[in-house]
Structure 1
C-alpha cells in the first residue's frame, strides 16, 4: 500500500515543482524613475500574463488613548506601498490575482481582476475590471501605528467594486489620483486606497513585458481635452482669419479690375 502511494506522491511533488518553475513573479520597481511607483510582473510558461505599475498609499484610521486614558481618539496612519515588496500572482482566462506584501508581512494588498462580457447595441463586447480589493494590516507594526489600542491584524475590503473598467485586450492607464474606499474589520472604519500613475493589464498581454494599447481613464481624457481644446480653438480661429483675409484679397482684386461705369450720364461722352 505504502509502495503504491510513493510514486503518486513523487508525481505530485514533481508536478508542483514544475508549476512553480513555470511561474515567475518579479518586482521591477527599481526600473521606475519615480521612487513611489512600483512595477510588478507575473509570468507563466515564460510568457508575461499580468503587469501592474502604480503608486499606492493607504490612509488608515486607528484608535489611541486620549491624554486622560479614559477616552479614545482616532489617529490616522499614512502607509505607502514600499519598494522591494514580496509578491505572488495568478493568471487565468477570466480571473487573475495580484498579492503584494511588505514590512515582513505586516501589510498585504490583494487585487482581484475579472474579465466578462455584455451585450451592447453594437453586439457582444468583452471587458475586464478590478472586481475586489483586500488590504490586511497589523496595528502592532510601529512604523506607521503609534500606541494603537488593542493592536492586531485587520482586513479592509471593497464592497461591490467595479473599478478600472477596460475593453478586453487593452491596458488601463490613469495618471490622475483615484480614491477607493474599503471597509475595515476594525469597527467598520473606512480605509482609503489612493492610486496614481496607474498602468495595468491582467489579461491578454500579447508581447512579453509590453503593455497593450492603453485605455485612458475618464479623468485623463478630460484633462487631455482641456489641454488640447485651447490649441484646437486657436487653430480654428487662425484658419478663419486666414480665410477671411484671402476672401477679402480676392474680392478686392476682382473689384479693382472691373470697368468703372460713371453714374452721371454726362460723363458718357468722355468715355472712348
Structure 2
C-alpha cells in the first residue's frame, strides 16, 4: 500500500552550471501532473510522464527543475583587479593626450564588473538532468511507500479497535435479547394480571427480536474488517477500495445505532463511528 504524499529532491553540477529537481505529491481523486521546466528543457516533459506511468497512479504531482549559472569568472576578485588596472591605464593614456577624465568611483567599478562577459548556459546540462529522471521518480515512489507503511500501521490499529468493538457489541446484543424477552414477559403479565398464552408470547418475542436483531450488521462489520486488513498488504492501488469500505463501515454503524435500543450498544455504535471517521481521514491519502 502506498500513500499519495511524498517528496524527493535531486541536484547536479557541470562546470559552470548547477541544477535541482524537486517533486512533491499530495492526495487527489485522480492523477494530476504539473510539470515546470526552464526554457530549452521542454523535451524532458515526455520523459517525466513516461517515468511516472506505471509507478504513480493517483495524486497531484508537481515537478520543478531549476538551474543556476555557477561560473562567476567575470565578477570575482581577480576580475575586479583587472578592471582597476584597465581603468588606470585608460586614465593614464587620456592624460598623455591632454584629456582630463572624471575620477572613477566604486560604482563604476561595480558596474563594469557586473556587465562583464558572462558564460551563456551550456544546454548539455539538460541531458544530464534528464538522465536523473528515473532515479528521481524512484525516490518519490520510495517516499510514498514509506508513508504508506505508516498509513498501514495506523489503519491496522484502527481496524483492531473496530474489531474489538464488534466483539463487544455481539456480547451485549446477546444479553440485550434476553433482557428484552424477560421485560416483555413481565409487561404482558402486569397488563393481564394472569399468566399469558405462552405460544402467543413467544411469537411476539420472536417478532420483536427480528426487528431489533443486529447480528447481520455485526457480521458485515466483521467481514469488512477482514477485507480491509487484506488491502493493507496489497501492492496495487487500493485507495478506491478503501473509500468503498469506509462507506460500508459507516452504513452498518448507523444501522446498529438506530436498532440498538440499549445504552451500551448505542455507546459502542458511536465509538465505532469515531474510529471510522479517523480511518476515513487516513484513507484520503491512500493511493
Q: If you compute each CA radius of gyration, which structure gives the higher value, 1 or 2?
A: 2
TM-score, reference length from structure 2: 0.19
Structure-1-length-normalised TM-score: 0.20
Q: Which structure carries more relative contact order (alpha carbon 8 Å, separation 6+)? A: 2
| Structure with greater helix percent | 2
Q: Is the strand fraction higher in 1 or 2?
A: 1
